[in-house]
Copies of this chain bind each other. A is one copy, B any other.
């Protein structure tokens, strides 16, 4: 598997991953009804650096990295990761996160923050914890899960 910067020609492969995840509405606080064009504009926006994980010529995962805040907060970055549904459980998200931390350090970021990890996404919470992230905040009932109802979300953070 190789991880490289996304190019405009990757849009269809990225959309095939992010649109179903957004439609499901269970892990990201994004409008489930946004169009494919809006989803790509969000994920590949000018405020972000976007990467893809590629295997045998197919895109199996994608992530973005951006400053989490501007001004006095711009030394902390934020990332989002999504893996192709058919490729979960194989460590792709872990490899993308490790790649993103290395890239962030090289860019001079001093910390990485996840603003909104849905508490029911237990596999993600455990994965980020195993990669050195700590739950630094709990947002009570801040996410309306499509089947579980109102659940907490976590703020997770680590120095780089």
Binding site for B on A (CB under 8 A): 22, 25-26, 28-32, 69-76, 110-111, 113, 115-116, 118, 136-146, 150, 153, 155, 157, 159
Taking a contact as CB atoms under 8 Å apart, the answer to whether B139 and A155 are in contact is yes
Partner of A137, one of B32, B72, B137: B137
A143 / chain B contacts, CB cutoff of 8 Å: 69, 72-73
A70 / chain B contacts, CB cutoff of 8 Å: 29-31
Stoichiometry, copies per complex? 2
Taking a contact as CB atoms under 8 Å apart, the answer to whether B25 and A71 are in contact is yes
Q: Other CB < 8 Å A-B pairs besides A29-B70, A69-B116, A137-B138, 9 of them?
A: A29-B69, A72-B118, A73-B116, A111-B142, A113-B139, A136-B137, A137-B137, A139-B155, A140-B159
A69 / chain B contacts, CB cutoff of 8 Å: 29, 116, 142-143
A145 / chain B contacts, CB cutoff of 8 Å: 72
- The chain B residue with its CB closest to the CB of A26 is B72
A157 / chain B contacts, CB cutoff of 8 Å: 139-140, 142
